[in-house]
Amino acid sequence: MRGVTRVAKQQRRLAILLVYGVAAGCLIALHLATNGTLGFHIDELYYLTSGRHPAFGYVDYPPIVPLVGRLETTVLGITPWTLRLIPALLGGVNVILCGAYVRKFGGSLGFQALAMLAGVTEPLILGTYLFQTVVFDQVAWMLSLYWFLSIVIDRKPRTWILLGITLGIGLEIKYLILPLIAGIGLAVHLTPSLRKDLRTRYPWIGAALALIIWIPNVVWQIANGFPTLVYISNHTGAIQSGGGVVNFIVFFLVLLFLLTPLWIAGFISLFRSSRMRPIGIACATPMVVYLLVGKYYYPGPTIPIVMAAGLIALSNVKRPRLRSGLAVAVVVASLVGLVSLAKITIPLTPADQFHATGLDTQDTDLASTVGWPEITNQMTAIYRALSSSQRATTVIVSSDYGVAEVTTAATYRVANVYQDFAKALTTSQRPKKLSKLELEQYNELLEEQADPYVEKAIALHKTLERAKVIDE
């Protein structure tokens, strides 16, 4: 009898490993197959450049992601595919966590598989293939919520230590995790059973470890006059320029797409259960914060655990036919969402077809992977055309962290460079196989991009005339 039980347990373990391995493997394989389709993204170049200057912090993000990027490219070489290897693997971890939530809630293997299907097809996870802070941040959020869920369900004090370590690492990835920390703190304060844990040493050990991990970045901020706070205060308008509350809700619903009812059911079930309410509070807090002062995807990492709660509510439906019908509906909704949004969540379209398919205007992330070698070559040519004396006083002025304009100490040279840059844009090589109409549209787009530089050149020449500055 014991032998039969042992065999049954082994078979169950193998089934679990198979289901989780296939789910995570599908996402990883898809990313590995498509990660070389596009060139470097503007953010990826930014992180690589930051990684070449190791520090305990940077103006707009903590140090972990740039340093990981430098380590990865040092070992594997600098190509878009190698740089995106770690994000692909982390995406697989996020898929596994989708299933782990349901497992921790007490759901069956079938519903765990359903959660991972939703995760694989979820734009939040599927569409995060670039080397950006986003995917690292997602893992930190989702793993932190898993540890918090474990604390709520299992009541094992040592889990507080794992939560503290994960939150500390999250603070060294991106500061966006702060509202989640606040949500967890609020949930603990409002839940008597969790407040009792504060009388033990484990929550405080976890908090201390989180602070120890974060301290190098905090010290860097203090030593440099809190540049991140200055950056945030100067860019508040840009952060909130997405259209306000209505825009936030609309785009957040795009992340959920046809699974919105499941997410709503998950939140309702979390708040209806006194035991699971702390999870609801922890997830709702960053939602409210970023609804008012952030972008729609900031609280996105809370979606999978709320979806998992929705699947548990679905599994508790007493009528078998209705329960099965709802499960099938989740499968269909996930697959329809995958097909409907694949154009922007999976980099399948070659760069030379972006304009013809409209992707250059539909998805700025895709558009931001095109043209950097050409721009770099143009900028290099402009610089090399300067005399040695002019090069000695040449600096790089950036109006955007991805697009630089070359300028010399002489204002007159600045105006000429703007003119050269505008000319380089309008005379750049056109994509092949464009129809006559598409070529006209492409030319109009280039002219629109060149116009601001022409205007800057004109403005500088007018300034020179007023100031009677004469070029040598």
Q: What is the pLDDT of residue 271?
A: 96
In 35-172, where does DSSP find H-type helix?
42-51, 64-76, 80-83, 85-105, 109-121, 123-126, 133-154, 159-171
Q: What is the pLDDT of residue 404?
A: 47
Q: What is the pLDDT of residue 395?
A: 66
Q: Which long-range contacts (CB under 8 A, 24 or more apart) does 54-57 make?
A: 55/220, 56/216, 56/217, 56/219, 56/220, 57/216, 57/217, 57/220, 57/221, 57/224, 57/228
Q: What is the pLDDT of residue 393?
A: 73
Q: Which two tokens stand for residue 356?
A: 């013809």
What's the first-to-final CA gap in the chain, in angstroms? 98
Q: Which two tokens stand for residue 19?
A: 């289901």
Q: 226: burial class by Cβ within 10 Å (0-12, 13-18, 19+)?
A: middle
Residues in Cβ contact with 255 at an 8 Å cutoff, skipping those fewer than 6 apart: 122, 123, 124, 296, 297, 300, 303
Cα(93)–Cα(242) distance, integer angstroms: 30
What is the pTM (predicted TM-score) of this model?
A: 0.81
Residues in Cβ contact with 339 at an 8 Å cutoff, skipping those fewer than 6 apart: none
Contact between residue 367 and residue 361 where contact means Cβ atoms under 8 Å apart:
yes
Q: What is the pLDDT of residue 405?
A: 42
Q: What is the pLDDT of residue 471?
A: 33
Q: What is the pLDDT of residue 447?
A: 80
Q: What is the pLDDT of residue 408?
A: 39
- Print the SS3 string covering 357-401: HCHHHHCHHHHCCCCHHHHHHHHHHHHHCCCHHHHHCCEEEECCC
Cα(82)–Cα(36) distance, integer angstroms: 9
Residue with tokens 């007018």: 462
Q: What is the pLDDT of residue 30?
A: 95
Strands 395-398 and 404-407: antiparallel
Cα(469)–Cα(463) distance, integer angstroms: 8
DSSP track, 294-310 = S-TTTTGGGHHHHHHHH
Burial 57-74 (b: 16+ CB within 10 A, else e): bbebbbbbbbbbbbebbe
Which amino acid is residue 138, in one-letter code? Q
DSSP track, 21-34 = HHHHHHHHHHHHHH
Q: Which two tokens stand for residue 61?
A: 């993000």
Q: Which long-range contacts (CB under 8 A, 24 or more apart) does 400-405 make?
A: 401/42, 401/46, 402/42, 402/45, 402/46, 402/368, 402/372, 403/375, 404/379, 405/453
Cα(343)–Cα(311) distance, integer angstroms: 27
The pLDDT tens digits along the chain (472 residues) read: 566 677 778 888 899 999 999 999 999 999 999 998 888 888 898 899 899 999 999 988 999 999 999 999 999 999 999 999 999 999 999 999 999 999 999 999 999 999 999 999 999 999 899 999 999 999 999 999 999 999 999 999 999 999 999 999 999 999 999 999 999 999 999 999 999 999 999 999 999 999 999 999 999 999 999 988 888 877 665 555 456 788 888 888 888 989 999 999 999 999 999 999 999 999 999 999 999 888 889 999 999 999 999 999 999 999 999 999 999 999 999 999 999 988 888 888 887 787 777 777 777 777 788 777 777 777 777 778 878 877 777 766 655 555 544 443 345 556 666 777 777 767 777 777 777 777 777 777 778 777 877 777 776 555 545 433 333 3
Q: What is the pLDDT of residue 428?
A: 74
Q: What angle do CA 42, 142, 147 make, to 5 degrees?
A: 150
How many residues belong to the chain? 472
